[in-house]
Structure 1
Amino acid sequence: MMTDVVESSGSLTRPEPGRPGPEAAGPVDARAGDAKPEARTGTAEPTAAARIVEIRERIDEIDRALIELWQERARLSQEVGATRMASGGTRLVLAREREILERFRAALGADGTQLALLLLRAGRGPL
C-alpha cells in the first residue's frame, strides 16, 4: 500500500514506486523494534521527547474521534438525502450547503471552507 507523506516542508509527497518511504529510513533499535526516540520526535532531549510523545498520543485520540465523527456525519447526511429524494424532494438543498460553508468559513477561515466542501462531498457525493 502506498502512503502519502508530509515532508518537513509541509508538502505532500508519495514515495517513488519501488523505493521505500521515509518510514523505512532512520535508525532502529533492534531491541524495541521501533525507531530511536529522536527519529520519532525530532529531539534527543528526553524530557522534550517524552512531552512530544504525550502530545502526539492526544493528537491520535483526536484524530480517531474526528474520523468517527466524519463517518457518522456522512452516514447521516446520506440518510437525509435518501429520505428527501424518496419523498420526491430534490437531491440537494443549496441553501443548506451555503449555511454549512459559511459556518465553517466563519470559524476556520479559508481552510474551513475547504473542510466544509470535503464534508459535504462525503455526505452527498461529488456534484
Structure 2
Amino acid sequence: MTDVMEQNGSANGAGPAGPEAGAPATGTAEPDAASRIAEIRVRIDEIDRALIELWQERAALSREVGATRMASGGTRLVLSREQEILERFRSALGADGTQLALLLLRAGRGPL
C-alpha cells in the first residue's frame, strides 16, 4: 500500500525537518485548529479500530457461512446474496460503496 501524500508533498505532513517536537503533523500552525484536528483524529482512530474489528468478524462469519453451505452440498457462492449486498452498499454510499462491498465480499469468500 502506498503512503498518502499531503498537499505539501511529504508523506507524513511534516516539512523537510520533520514535525515539531515529535507531535503529529496537523497541516496548520494555528494552535486552536491544530488542537481540534488532534481531537478529531482521536475519534477517527477509534472508528478505524472498530472498522478493522468488524471487518475481521464479518469475514470470519462469511467464511463460516460458505463452509456450512458447501458442507451441506450447497454452492460455493449465492450470487443473488452478493448482488443484494452490492446494491445495499451502492444505495447507501454510491460507487465507492460498490467498491467497498466488493472488498468485503472478497475478504469473506476469497477471490472468484
**Could you tell me how far 1:28 is from its partner in structure 2?**
4.4
Pairing partner for 1:118 from 78, 84, 103: 103
Following the alignment from structure 1 to structure 2, what is the Cα–Cα distance between the partners of residues 121 and 91? 13
For the aligned residues, what is the CA RMSD? Answer: 1.9
Question: Quick check: 1:27 aligned with 2:18?
Answer: yes
Q: Is the 8 A contact 2:62 2:108 kept in 1?
A: yes
Following the alignment from structure 1 to structure 2, what is the Cα–Cα distance between the partners of residues 88 and 64? 37
**Could you tell me how far 1:4 is from its partner in structure 2?**
1.9
**Could you tell me how far 1:68 is from its partner in structure 2?**
0.3
Q: Which residue is 1:8 aligned to?
A: 6
Q: Which runs of 4+ in 1 moved over 6 A?
A: none
Question: Quick check: 1:69 aligned with 2:58?
Answer: no
Q: Which residue is 2:40 aligned to?
A: 55
Secondary structure in 2 matching 1:90:
coil
Question: Quick check: 1:43 aligned with 2:28?
Answer: yes
Amino acid at match of 2:70: M
**Identity over aligned residues, as a percent?**
77
- Shift in alpha-carbon separation, 1:122–1:49, aligned structure 2, 3 A: same
What do the CA deviations read for 1:56-97 (whole angstroms, capped 9, x no partner)?
Answer: 110000000000000000000000000000000000000000
Amino acid at match of 2:101: A
**TM-score calculated relative to the size of structure 1:** 0.78
Question: Quick check: 1:99 aligned with 2:84?
Answer: yes
Unaligned runs of 5+ in 1: 10-20
Unaligned runs of 5+ in 2: none
